[in-house]
């Protein structure tokens, strides 16, 4: 029987957990996000750029300068989603970026002009639930606004205090419980986070980000069957998932031995988010478990072609070498 790519699978899990919670000590001193418009026209000064972290809430937000670039400082290394908002601008793609452990990093995100772009467009596109309830008391609104600013600064303790105060005044705010759960999770208070997400869903059973956040907690607990179920439900409500959510679903399907589904999810996600090379490792492992070695090798080679210096490049090369050696041995044996 062909050797399993266990090292690759275990490393996939490590990467998943890293995306769930920002605990990296690696901080990038400055990140410059440049918006690239197809018409090369200058940016409107009102255009804003939002960095959304893996837990689904805004880590930082800033305005663009005359060169259509927004600058962020002391950003933890990891994967982010960039959302563009403005009077005439919005995203032209999913906005996924990866921030590496360097002093300064420049990234470019595609944007497009739209006469209908406004605050509601970017809010619905981002996982962080920030839509204001018109019936909300002013006191509660003030606390939720303060919490948002503290979340951007990663001041989890004070953000928690303001979210709790806001919910005391206005306990019917499902989005507030979702954000409180995300902040709890950042502090390692996972039991409280789970209860907050459940409360969010009790108030609004169609709040897809709360299902995604519960799924991420299930990943931390290695309860992949529950994670798969929650992610499937969330994606059924909001089909326009980001690359990380599809990656998590594919990994859950792989772990649950739903191999064909894992391959299909990987294929669908990669067709939409071509820069997410890790998706090839999900498909490679699923193919290998189905004993479809040529297909598995093709996925590993695709990973290397897309991310030759990626964190798994050396392990993937070793796995390919094992496959190639076994294939050569089997061919040689068959010829005698």
**Choice between 231 and 124, residue whose per-residue pLDDT is larger:** 231
Q: Nearest Cα to 77, choosing from 30, 35, 34?
A: 30
Yes or no: say if 288 and 2 are a contact pair by the CB < 8 Å rule: yes
pLDDT (0 to 100) of residue 86: 66
Q: Which two tokens stand for residue 182?
A: 């995300």
Q: What's the topology of domain 27-129?
A: Immunoglobulin-like (2.60.40)
Annotate 99-161 with DSSP letters as a single string: E-SSSEEEEEEEEEE-TT--HHHHHHHSSS--PPPTT--HHHHHHHHHHHHHHHTT-HHHHHH
pLDDT range class, residue 25, cuts 50, 70, 90: very low
- Which pTM was predicted? 0.60
pLDDT range class, residue 128, cuts 50, 70, 90: very low
Burial of 1 (0-12, 13-18, 19+ CB in 10 A): exposed
* pLDDT tens digits along 189-220: 889 999 999 999 999 998 888 998 898 888 87
Distance between CA 92 and CA 111 in Å, rounded? 4
Q: Enumerate residues 6+ apart whose C-beta is below 8 A from 73.
A: 29, 30, 31
pLDDT range class, residue 259, cuts 50, 70, 90: very high
pLDDT (0 to 100) of residue 26: 66
Using the predicted structure, report yes or no on whether residue 226 has a pLDDT greater than 90.
yes
pLDDT, averaged across the chain:
77
Q: If DSSP codes are grouped into helix, strand and coil, which group holds residue 71? A: strand
pLDDT (0 to 100) of residue 4: 34
Among 3.30.930.10, 3.40.50.620, 1.25.40.10, 2.60.120.260, name the CATH number for the domain at 221-334. 1.25.40.10
Using the predicted structure, report yes or no on whether residue 117 has a pLDDT greater than 50.
no
The domain spans of the chain are 27-129, 221-334
């Amino acid at each position: 029987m062909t050797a399993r790519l266990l090292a690759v699978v275990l490393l996939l899990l490590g990467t998943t957990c890293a995306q769930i919670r920002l605990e990296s000590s690696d901080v990038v001193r400055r990140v410059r996000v440049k918006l690239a418009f197809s018409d090369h026209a200058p940016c409107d000064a009102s255009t804003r750029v939002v960095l959304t972290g893996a837990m689904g809430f805004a880590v930082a937000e800033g305005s663009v300068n005359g060169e259509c670039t927004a600058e962020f400082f002391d950003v933890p290394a990891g994967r982010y989603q960039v959302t563009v908002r403005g009077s005439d601008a919005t995203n032209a793609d999913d906005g996924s970026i990866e921030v590496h452990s360097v002093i300064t990093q420049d990234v470019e995100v595609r944007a497009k002009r739209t006469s209908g772009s406004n605050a509601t467009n970017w809010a619905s596109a981002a996982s962080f639930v920030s839509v204001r309830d018109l019936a909300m008391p002013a006191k509660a609104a003030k606390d939720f606004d303060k919490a948002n600013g503290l979340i951007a600064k990663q001041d989890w303790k004070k953000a928690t205090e303001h979210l709790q105060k806001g919910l005391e005044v206005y306990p019917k705010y499902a989005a507030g419980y979702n954000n409180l759960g995300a902040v709890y999770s950042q502090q390692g208070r996972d039991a409280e986070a789970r209860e907050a997400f459940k409360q969010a869903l009790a108030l609004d059973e169609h709040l897809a980000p709360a299902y995604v956040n519960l799924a991420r907690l299930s990943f931390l607990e290695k309860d992949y069957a529950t994670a798969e179920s929650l992610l499937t439900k969330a994606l059924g409500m909001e089909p326009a998932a980001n690359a990380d959510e599809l990656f998590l679903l594919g990994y859950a399907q792989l772990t649950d031995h739903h191999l064909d589904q894992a391959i299909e999810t990987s294929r669908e996600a990669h067709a939409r988010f071509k820069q997410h090379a890790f998706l090839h490792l999900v498909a490679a492992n699923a193919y290998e478990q189905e004993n479809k070695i040529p297909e598995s090798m093709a996925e590993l080679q695709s990973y290397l072609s897309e991310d030759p210096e990626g964190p798994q490049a050396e392990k993937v090369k070793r796995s390919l070498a094992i496959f190639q050696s076994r294939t050569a041995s089997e061919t040689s044996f068959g010829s005698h």
